[in-house]
Amino acid sequence: MPIRGIRGAIDVPEDSAGVVLASTRTLLIAIQQANPDLRTEDIASVWFTSTPDLVSIVPAPAARDLGWTLVPLMCTLEMPVAGSLPRIIRVLIHWNTDQPQSAIRHVYLGEAARLRPDLNESIDLKESVL
């Protein structure tokens, strides 16, 4: 079975633990809604990055809060680049799936949609748990 990458990003309104975790949960829920066959037991690993201006907490606990307790998670600092968007969390989910690459839906929310305008789709975010 191949491994596919799901990319996503979201802007965070302020650097506080609660807001960072809430924003990360929103992003992960939106990714699951955009990829309804995604199940946590099929996730090989997840890599989060955050911009250097987000220092209150790493994003991984948001995934744990959603039940991703057995999924290997990694958090790193996004490379600081002059002129880049502030307060951004990015995610790369490695998904064991037979779906073709063309079927994968990447999710960029809020100001982070400017990072990949070619991948933006209208997302009707519903409350759910992954």
Could you give the residue numbers annotated as active site?
A: 7, 64, 75, 78, 90, 108, 116
Q: Assess contact for 20 and 123: CB atoms under 8 A.
A: no
Maximum Cα interatomic distance, the chain, rounded to a whole number of Å:
40
Residues forming beta bridges with residue 93, ordered by sequence position: 6, 46
User: How many CB atoms lie under 10 A from the CB of residue 18?
Assistant: 10
Nearest to residue 109, comparing CAs of 45, 48, 24? 24
- Cβ neighbours of 107 (radius 10 Å): 28
